[in-house]
Structure formats: C-alpha cells, structure tokens
Structure 1
Amino acid sequence: MVGAGVLSLPYAMSHMGWGPGIVVLILSWVITLYTLWQMVQMHEMVPGKRFDRYHELGQYAFGEKLGLYIVVPQQLMVEVSLCIVYMVTGGRSLMKVHEILCDDCQPIRLTYWIMIFASVQFFLAHLPNFNSISSVSLLAAVMSLTYSTIAWAVSLRMGIQNAVGPVEYCLKSKTTTDNVFNFFNALGDVAFSYAAHNVVLEIQATIPSTPEKPSKGPMWKGVVVAYIIVALCYFPVAIIGYYVFGNNVEDNILLSLEKPSWIIASANIFVIIHVMGAYQVFAMPVFDMIETFMVKKIKLKPSGFLRYSVRTTYVAITMMIAIVLPFFGGLLGFFGGFALAPTSYYLPCIIWLIVKKPKRFGLSWWTNWVCIVIGVLLNIVAPIGGLRNIILSAKNYRLFS
C-alpha cells in the first residue's frame, strides 16, 4: 500500500498550498478507500464464483471482449508506469547514498545508477513466481514504513530554523498559468500514491472463503488496517515536509534532507530495498500476461528461452525509458493521472453502478457519480500537468547525463 509516491507528497503540497493540499489528500484517501471497499464486496458477489482478477470483474460488467479491452490496458499502464518510476527512484536513491557516504568522490552519472539498479532487476525477474519473492516483498513493506517515518521525523527534528534558505508557503511560480499546470501535476502526484487497486483482487483470491465465512470479512479488515497505516505515513510526510521546507522542497523529500547523514543514507537504502521488491510485485503480472499472449495467440512453444527473453527485454525497456526520462515529479504527475486514476478512482464505481444498480438519485448512486466525475477530471488534467513538467525538465537535461 505504501509506495514510493509518498516521497513526492510534500512537493505536491508546494504546488497546491495548505488549504487545497490538505483537502486533496483527505479526498483521495476517502475516495480510494471507498473504491477498495467496492472491489472487496464485488469479489464474491456471484454465488459460487470468485473474481480473482480485475479484468474478470470488468468482463462480468462490460462483457467478455469489451471488459478485457477496457481493464487490461489500464492495468498494463499502471504496472508498466510503476516499474519505470521505480527504476528512476532506485537510481536516484543510489546516487544520493553515494553522495552522502562519499562526498569527496567523483560524481557518477544518474544513468549509471539506474543501470546498476536495473542489474538487480535482471536477476530478480527470473525468479519463478510471487511466492519466491515473498521474503523480498515483506522486506520491502517494512522498508517503506521505515523510510516514510524517517522522512517526517527527521524533517520535524530539523525544524524550520535549520531548513536551507527562507521557508515560504506561497505558490512556487509567479504566473497563474504555471500555478494551474503545477496544480494539475500535483493532483497526479497524489493519485500515484494509491496503486493497490490493481492487485487487491489477486490478494483476496489467496484468502480461503466459505459461505459461512466469506473472504470479504478478513480482507476488509486488512484493508482498514492498511489504510490506517497509509494515513500515518502519508499525512505526516506531506504536512511536516511542506511545513519545514515550504516551496523549496525537492520532488523527493529525502533529497531535501542532509543531516544526520547516516540516517538519510539509511532511509535512501530502505527506499532502494523497497523499490527492488515493489518493481517485481508489479512486473510479475506483466510477465505472466506477455508470456500467456506469446503462447496462446502467437503459438510459441513455452520454454525457458521464451521466459528469459520476455523478462530480460521488459526490464531493459523500462530501464531505457527511465534513463531517457528520469524526472521523478513529472513522471508521477503524468502516470498518476493517466494510468492510476481510472483503476483507483472511478472504474470500480462504474462497475458498481452496472452490476449493483443502486437506486437512482439515492446516496450510493450520488456517491459513485461524484467519484466518477472527480476521477475523470483527474484523468484529464493530471497528465497535462505532468507532461508539461516533463517537457520543461527535459529542456535542461542532457541525454544519458
């Protein structure tokens, strides 16, 4: 649940300001918790059948073919975008650790750090299945909670008086146009923090279920606990990080922190460990999808060579995109709106309206339509802000620098 997107929340706040920023944080938390509840409830809504994949739920609502065409591309975009962002995050965190621990060393290009991070993914990508990365996934979860806590705790200890430069809370840009586009990008940054919807049904599928004790009971308890932890991580990082650094905060809060150096280096190492595991959590379904397509549609023979080729090529492609576009804030804004908004904010609501058919103009009907309108607007404006941010950053970026 707690992803690397938490590190960009203070940066998002700097483009929204106190009032709108806190409203957006709370609204996103509430909407995504509500849509998660819907997915947990719909997992076994047909007696004797379990919808173990997001696309199976989509097929039930929209039809066999249309459901696949609507849901699968959305899921692929989410999973691929997360892998690209995690490549950038891993590379930047490695570079930060090197700068802290060896401040008199010759600087090493970000390109090489991304390649070093990718080299680990080339190895992990060839592990057989989710069970084989369970220990990596558990370690990644612990790391995400740890570096989130370090981010806000060190910022709080640092205080405004020790921050670099004067702390200002006015919007960063001087023109209305820049502020509007930056606000759009910030919306995408916040949306990027909520990616669990793409794997929630797969997780629920692992829970035993009987008519007397359906899986939705323990699953919902797990979701509630997870969202309490999310709130304890996201809100302090966003609010305290913005309070301490104002609009001078970096797009990754850990890059704004300098001392104590050993704690900041440790936090970045935790980020590296986390995104190593998280990359595989989102890459594994893509591997499965591509390999299944190759075997069933293209009629290739399932083999170790096919598996090796698909997985190595995928890691290489995400690595190259990360090297060409290593803009953390812009990528989060773009992918948060373009890829994550549909699956996390409004697609569950559309499916709910189709299959549950709540009373017209009733509370459930209005709630779902409000979420749909907010989600669609986010889906439109956030990628515009993110893309503009990437273009502006690219102007001053030398390829493979």
Structure 2
Amino acid sequence: MGTQGPDQDQYARSNSHQITDDEKARQKEIDEWLPITGSRNAKWWYSAFHNVTAMVGAGVLSLPYAMAELGWGPGVVILILSWIITLYTLWQMVEMHEMVPGKRFDRYHELGQHAFGEKLGLYIVVPQQLIVEVGVCIVYMVTGGKSLKKFHDLVCKDCKDIKLTFFIMIFASVHFVLSHLPNFNSIAGVSLCAAVMSLSYSTIAWSASLAKGVKSDVQYGYKAKSTSGTVFNFLAALGDVAFAYAGHNVVLEIQATIPSTPEKPSKGPMWKGVIVAYIVVALCYFPVALIGYWMFGNSVDDNILITLEKPAWLIAMANMFVVFHVIGSYQIYAMPVFDMMETVLVKKMNFKPSSALRFIVRNVYVAVTMFIGITFPFFGGLLSFFGGFAFAPTTYFLPCVMWLAIYKPKRFSLSWWTNWICIVFGVLLMILAPIGGLRQIIVQAKTYEFYS
C-alpha cells in the first residue's frame, strides 16, 4: 500500500516527460506567434533603419525650440552629451542581449528580470517601458494629425477649416490596417520608408531655414520675461532633448529579430546597424537644431515646420514626409506593446493564439491611443513631460544600472566612473524635465478647448 511498482514508476516518469514535451511544443507555438520572437531572419540593415525610425521622430522638429529655451552654450553641450551617452548605453544593451550563453534577452523587461530579479525586474522596467511606448504612440497620433492638417492648410488655402480631431482620426485609420502586420520583420518595408522620410524632412527643415537666412530682428536671449519662466522652459527643453533619443525602448526587441549562433552572435550585425543609425541621427539632429535656432532665434515654434511657411510646396511636402515617418515610428513602438498584451493573454490567461484575438487587441490599442491623442493634443508639453519622466530612465541610466548589477566593474575603474556619470546625468534629467513639461501642459491647457 502506498508504494509504486517499477511499471507504475516508469509510467509516471514517461507521463511527466510527455507533459514537458507538450509544454515545450506549446511554448514553441506561442513564441512563433508572438510579434517579437515570431521571425529571426533580419539582416544588419534592418537594425539600421528600425533604429533610425525609432529615434528620429517628432522630437527632431522640436530641437530648434529646445535650443531657444536652453541657449547656445548649454544647448550644444546637452545635445552632444546626449548623443554620446545614449550611444554608450545602446552599446551596453546590445552587449547584454546574449551575455548568458544559450539565452537571449529578447525583451527589455527580461533583461531587467535578469539584473534585478524576477518580480523586481518587472516592476522596474515594464511600467517605464509602457509609459514610453504608449506615450510615443499618443504623441505620434497628435504629430501625424497636426502634420496632415498643416499639409491640408498649405495645399488648399481657400478650403473650409477642418478640426484637428478629424485629421488625427484620418491618421489613426492607417494604423487600424497596419497594426495587423504580425511581427517586426513584416513592418520592415514601412520602417525603411519611414527612415528615408525622416532624413528627407530633416534635410528640408535645415536647408529651408538656411535658404531663408537669418531673421532681420533675430534674438538669441531667453524668451520668457520672468526668471521662473526661463527656468521652467529650460527644464522643459531638457525633456525635449531626452524625447529625441528614445530608441533604447525597442532595441532588444529589434535585436531579437536577428539570427544568432555561438560563432556569429547577433551583436555583430546589430551594432553595425546601430552605428549607421547614429550617423543618420547626427546628420538629422545637429543641422536642424543649430541652423534652425541660428536663423530664427527665440521666435522659433515648437515644430520648426510651422515656423517655415515658404516655399509652401516644400513645407507641404515636408509635412507629408513627417506623416509617413510617424506612421512607421508608431508601428515600431506599438509592436512591443502588442507583444506584451498578447503574451499576457496567451501565457497567463490561456487564450488560444488566433487572428481574432490579435484583431481585437490591436484595434482596441489603436483606438485608445487615438482617443487620448484627440483629447490632449498639447504637443510641446507632452514631449517634455514624457521625455523626462520615462525616456531618461530607460535611455540614459537604466542600462548603466543593469551593467553595474550584472558585471560589477571594479570600484573607481573607468567603467565604474562612466556608468555613474551617466546615472547622475540621467537621474537629474528624470527629476527636472517633467517639472517644465507639466508647467507647459498647464499653461497650454488654460486656453485649450476640448475636441477643437
């Protein structure tokens, strides 16, 4: 009584083995269905244009305005520092993707769990990553709608005025279709088009500014009349710069699409793509920021294409390029969110992986981001607030904290100092920038009419 014979024991072992095999088969089926792990045949140039699309977004158009709030000296220093620090932290993430032999950290939160523990890693990374990705999608809804409206107003000056709300809805309608592309590699064509567009409208922005020449009554002093206004605007501008360097939130997910073997790890092609992307970022950011501010001084708008009104056909074309670019950017940032939602539904709540599930989840997400974008289209303030609150941690210092936790470099070594300098810079950015952004939102909200 109570003991098992050899046959029963063997049956139990074979049964548990069978369960394990079934679990493995189900896991494999789910991984092949999920957007991030569904396809691993990307080439290095996929990394290049995905990173350009993720990074060179609406943020580049607000850089001359950020320069106007920062001033020449601090503005140039912060732009260059941000470029160097974010390239360094991006390198860290590429290196950490496969630091455990035989395992790939395909998602930002998986790396966080390895560094901080199963539960703490999720609590630290997932809320910040979601704020960034959902925040970007909302801001891009607003940007896409505003650029469409600007295009319409330039091309058809005598037409009846149409509310921004309707333009945001037109922009969202594209995503109700594109969001059903299954994984990262399936949006490669959209992403390539978006990357080309970002380089195009950035070039138009700085070359049209240069062609206009320096404004006759140009002023480079701070625009705000009071000291407190100047300080708050300075802080908000820090958030604008942080928003411009936001690609880290999707970098591990992009790297997950590249094939990897012990002989040829994915970090080789990924890093090659990142270098190309960062060269393109420099070619877009620095000329737009410096030439835009040089030509217009502190009278520049929070979107330089609004300041540039002539030649009308060129500015209309640039606005259309922005629309095409943010279509691609929205998809790049939405894909990891789709992956999170679908993972929870399939793995935790045991829904069956299906087209119907994907159809409902993705349409609901697009509808929610559209509704929030229509309700709160405070473009400049949104950039600053999200830029400081969530982009600074995930971009500037969270990779450094993970690096220190995992690799434990020797105290006071070069690696130790480099990481701590990045952490201090990032923490200051995280604390200060949202203050300025929140004030901007409050100031703009005073005169705002809902659904106008």
TM-score band w.r.t. shorter chain: over 0.9
Q: Select the residue among 301, 305, 314 that pairs with 1:263.
A: 314
The yes-or-no answer on 1:225 pairing with 2:276 is yes
Query: How many pairs does the alignment contain?
Result: 398
User: Are the aligned partners of 1:81 and 1:339 in contact in 2 as well (CA < 8 Å)?
Assistant: no
* Alignment partner, residue 131 of structure 2: 77
Match of 2:332 in 1: 281
Q: Is residue 2:65 matched to residue 1:14?
A: no
Contact 1:80 1:283 in 2 (8 A): yes
Listed one character per residue, the Cα deviations across residues 213-264 of structure 1 (whole Å, up to 9, x for unaligned) are 3332332222122111111110000000011111111111111111111111
Q: Does the 8 A contact of 1:4 with 1:144 survive in 2?
A: no
Cα distance in 2, alignment partners of residues 329 and 92 from structure 1? 12
In 2, distance between residues paired with 1:309 and 1:82? 21
Partner of 1:367: 418
Q: Are residue 38 (structure 1) and residue 89 (structure 2) matched?
A: no
- State the AA in 1 paired with 2:181: L
Q: Which moved more, 1:331-340 or 1:204-213?
A: 204-213
Query: Cα deviations across residues 289-308 of structure 1 (Å, max 9, x unaligned)?
Result: 11222233334444444322
Instruction: Show the counterpart of 1:118.
Output: 172
Partner of 1:53: 107
Contact 1:114 1:323 survives alignment (8 Å): yes
Distance, in Å, in 1 between the alignment partners of 2:356 and 2:104 is 34
Q: In structure 2, what is the Cα distance between the partners aligned to 1:237 and 1:397?
A: 29
Structure 2 counterparts to residues 127-138 of structure 1, below 5 A: 127-138=181-192
Partners of 2:68 and 2:222 within 8 A in 1? yes
2:253 is the alignment partner of 1:199: no
Structure 2: any 5+ residue segments left out of the alignment?
A: 1-51
Q: Equivalents in 2 of 1:307, 1:177: separation in Å?
A: 49
Deviations 1:12-32 (A, max 9, x none): 011111011101101111110
Aligned counterparts of 1:305 and 1:222: Cα–Cα separation in 2: 35
Q: What displacement does 1:346 show?
A: 0.3
2:405 & 2:355 partners in 1: Cα distance?
A: 42
- Residue by residue, what CA displacement relative to the aligned partner does 1:285-327 show, whole Å, maximum 9, x if unpaired? 2122112222333344444443222212211111111111111
Could you list the runs of 5+ residues in structure 1 that have no partner in the other structure?
none
Q: Is the 8 A contact 2:401 2:423 kept in 1?
A: yes
**Hey, what's the Cα distance between the residues in 2 that align with 1:54 and 1:24?**
26
- The answer to whether residue 263 in structure 2 is matched with residue 209 in structure 1 is no
Q: Is the 8 A contact 2:253 2:336 kept in 1?
A: no
- The offset of 1:386, in angstroms, is 0.7
Query: 2:213 aligns to what?
Result: 159
RMSD of the TM alignment (CA)? Answer: 1.4
**How far 1:125 moved relative to its partner?**
1.6
Aligned counterpart in structure 2 of residue 328 of structure 1, from 376, 379, 392: 379
2:153: which partner in 1?
Answer: 99
Q: Distance in 2 between matches of 1:324 and 1:15?
A: 27
Tell me if 1:318 matches 2:388. no
Give the secondary structure class of the aligned counterpart of 2:136.
helix
Name the structure 2 match of 1:342: 393
- 1:136-179 superposed Cα distances (whole Å, 9 cap, x missing partner): 11111110110011100110111114x7xx31111010111111
Aligned-partner Cα distance in 1 for 2:277–2:343? 32
* Match of residue 443 from structure 2: 392
Match of 1:186 in 2: 237
How far apart in 1 are the matches of 2:161 and 2:74? Answer: 39
Mapped to 1, the partners of 2:421 and 2:307 lie a distance apart of: 37
Q: 1:40 to 1:131 in 2, by over 3 A?
A: closer
Aligned-pair distance for 1:133?
2.1
Q: Which moved further from structure 2: 238-247 or 213-222? A: 213-222
The corresponding residue for 1:88 is 142
Residue in structure 2 matched with residue 168 of structure 1 by the alignment: 219
Deviations 1:89-139 (A, max 9, x none): 000000100111011111111111111111111121223232332211111
CA distance in 2 between counterparts of 1:277 and 1:219 reads: 20
What is the CA–CA distance in structure 1 between the aligned matches of 2:265 and 2:430, rounded to whole Å?
34
Greater displacement, 104-113 / 120-129: 120-129
> Hey, what's the Cα distance between the residues in 1 that align with 2:262 and 2:186?
31
Aligned-partner Cα distance in 1 for 2:175–2:126: 24
2:91 partner letter: W
Q: TM-score if structure 2 supplies the norm length?
A: 0.85
Q: Distance in 1 between matches of 2:183 and 2:317?
A: 29
Provide the C-alpha distance between the structure 2 equivalents of 1:387 and 1:123, rounded to a whole number of angstroms. 34
Distance 1:213 1:367 in 2: 29
Amino acid at match of 1:387: L
